[in-house]
């Protein structure tokens, strides 16, 4: 699994062009993925939501749009340059002014036990230095009955694999290099996507971490999946 310091340095280097690269490389489908994610969060009616690995804040902003101002939204990230981007975007729109963007490492969350109704994390689990430790750390902070929503790359449907991996290995890094000036960062991205577990395997990893129920929903030929994992209620 990737080393945390190296991941931090990589994201710091592309922070200013991160949004452009995401929209370009996904063909704009990332907007749809966030829409589905935030609809699922709204359906569970949380009292507060924390967006982990929030990056430049796009999921946190979409959560605010979706669930309204009565539900507190906080974005946490361990890369300060990404938080700078999120805060700059927040300042540009008054309706986002109450969203807090703070430092927070998923390996050691600055939050109390059993204190959060819902967590979201988009394209961040793949970068955990220790995946099981990170998943258990989130579980520690969730209230009983609380939910973790993981939006992450997955293994695509078999028929789509040849097309997808051609794009992933041969096209994505070069397009990313033009957009960000850093091909190496997206060589890393392509490698982590290729090696990341399938929906079924990540479901098993979440179960092993201690979540009581896990449901996976594949999107866009299962290029990505949303896993909804719930912490057990006391009996």
**Residue 168: which pLDDT band, with cuts at 50, 70 and 90?**
confident
SS3 sequence of the chain: CCCHHHHHHHHHHHHHHHHHHHHHHHCCHHHHHHHHHHHHHHHCCCCCEEEECCCCCHHHHHHHHHHCCCCCEEEEECCHHHHHHHHHHHHCCHHHCCCEEEECECCECCCCCCCEEEEEEECCHHHCCCHHHHHHHHHHHEEEEEEEEEEEECCCCHHHHHHHHHHHHHHHHHHHHHHHCCHHHHHHHHHHHHHCCCHHHHHHHHHHHCCCEEEEEEECCCCEEEEEEECCCCC
**Predicted pLDDT of residue 223:** 94
Percent over 70 (pLDDT), the chain: 91
**Predicted pLDDT of residue 2:** 64
**Residue 15: which pLDDT band, with cuts at 50, 70 and 90?**
low
**Residue 16: which pLDDT band, with cuts at 50, 70 and 90?**
low
**Predicted pLDDT of residue 67:** 95
**Predicted pLDDT of residue 174:** 79
Query: Tens digit of pLDDT for each residue in 43-72?
Result: 999 999 999 999 999 999 999 999 999 999
Is pLDDT above 70 for 203? yes
Do 96 and 68 form a contact (C-beta atoms < 8 A)? no
pTM for the model stands at: 0.93
**Residue 191: which pLDDT band, with cuts at 50, 70 and 90?**
confident
Is pLDDT above 90 for 12? no
Q: Where is average pLDDT lowest: 36-45, 61-70, 137-146, 165-174?
A: 165-174
**Residue 8: which pLDDT band, with cuts at 50, 70 and 90?**
confident
Is pLDDT above 80 for 94? yes
Is pLDDT above 80 for 197? yes
**Predicted pLDDT of residue 156:** 93
Would you list the domain boundaries of the chain?
4-157+198-230
Q: Where is average pLDDT lowest: 39-48, 90-99, 204-213?
A: 90-99
What mean pLDDT value characterizes the chain? 90
Percent over 90 (pLDDT), the chain: 71
**Residue 1: which pLDDT band, with cuts at 50, 70 and 90?**
low
Assigned superfamily of 4-157+198-230: Vaccinia Virus protein VP39 (3.40.50.150)
């Amino acid at each position: 699994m990737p080393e945390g310091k190296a991941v931090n340095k990589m994201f710091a280097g592309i922070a200013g062009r991160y949004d452009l690269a995401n929209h370009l490389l996904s063909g704009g489908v990332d907007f749809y993925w966030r829409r589905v994610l935030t609809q699922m969060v709204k359906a569970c009616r949380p009292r507060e939501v924390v967006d982990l690995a929030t990056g430049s804040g796009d999921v946190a902003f979409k959560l605010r749009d979706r669930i309204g101002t009565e539900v507190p939204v906080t974005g946490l990230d361990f890369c300060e340059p990404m938080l700078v981007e999120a805060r700059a975007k927040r300042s540009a729109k008054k309706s986002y002014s109450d969203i807090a963007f703070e430092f927070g490492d998923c390996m050691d969350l600055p939050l109390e036990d059993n204190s959060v109704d819902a967590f979201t994390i988009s394209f961040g689990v793949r970068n955990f230095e220790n995946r099981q430790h990170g998943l258990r750390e989130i579980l520690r902070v969730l209230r009983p009955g609380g939910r973790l929503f993981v939006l992450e790359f997955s293994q695509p449907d078999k028929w789509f694999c040849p097309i997808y991996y051609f794009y992933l290995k041969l096209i994505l890094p070069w397009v990313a290099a033009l957009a960000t000036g850093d091909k190496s960062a997206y060589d890393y991205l392509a490698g982590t996507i290729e090696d990341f577990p399938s929906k079924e395997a990540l479901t098993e990893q979440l179960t092993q971490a201690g979540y009581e129920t896990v449901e996976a929903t594949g999107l866009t030929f299962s290029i990505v999946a949303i896993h909804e994992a719930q912490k057990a209620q006391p009996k």
